[in-house]
Copies of this chain bind each other. A is one copy, B any other.
Amino acid sequence: MPSKPSDITMDAVYTKPGYLFRRMQQIAVSIFVEECREFDLTPVQYAALVAIQNHPGIDATRLSAVIAFDRSTLGSVIERLEAKGHIERKPSAEDKRVKLLYLTKAGATQLRNILPSVDRAQARMLAPLKAADRKTLLALLGQLVDLNNEVSRVPLRAEDALEHLGRTG
């Protein structure tokens, strides 16, 4: 091997978790969009629809906790879902600040119809690995995300963030 201009080689990037996570995220989104093209839904929009169906009447702040994305980002996501007619925003009676989110009939239908494509996409992401390796990777990744939960700006606060709603559906 000829000498490099310094001791820093591309391995300082390629073999590191940060690079691999970014690359895998790129690939995952690419596969999702390809499989779900006909439904015109992004991964984030899909996650939002699932969460709203599971928690009808949730507000934007709590939704951000349930799917772990930024409230600032969520505003535009909600706008787009509303523009597509998949969700409705209704003012709350008790708190004039909040707007409650509900799936429309069209949104529920869209969500039901997209599921097979989402499943195909999820399967394709891990398809190159052997079955045992897929299981191992998913398990380790699940652990790691869970153990690092508090690190990101918007930690996941699943169902327990919704206790005050006093209902599960």
Please list the residues of chain A having a beta carbon within 8 angstroms of any beta carbon in chain B: 1-6, 8-10, 12-32, 43-44, 46-47, 50-51, 53-54, 56, 66-69, 108, 111-112, 115, 118, 121-122, 125-126, 128-129, 133, 136-138, 140-145, 147-148, 151-154, 156, 158-159, 168-169
Contact = CB atoms under 8 A, between A and B. Distances in A.
Given A4-B169, A158-B14, A145 B50 contact: no
B20 A54 contact: no
For the residues of A in contact with B, the DSSP-based class is: helix
A47 B47 CA distance: 30
A54 B18 contact: no
B50 A12 contact: yes
Copies of the polypeptide in the assembly: 2
Given A10-B50, A136-B140, A26 B152 contact: yes
A23 B125 CA distance: 15
A10 B66 contact: yes
Given A10-B158, A54-B4, A54-B8, A21 B28 contact: yes
Contacts of A142: 15, 20
Contact of A5 (B6, B54, B144, B145): B54
Contacts of A152: 23, 26-27, 30
A121 to B, nearest CB: 7
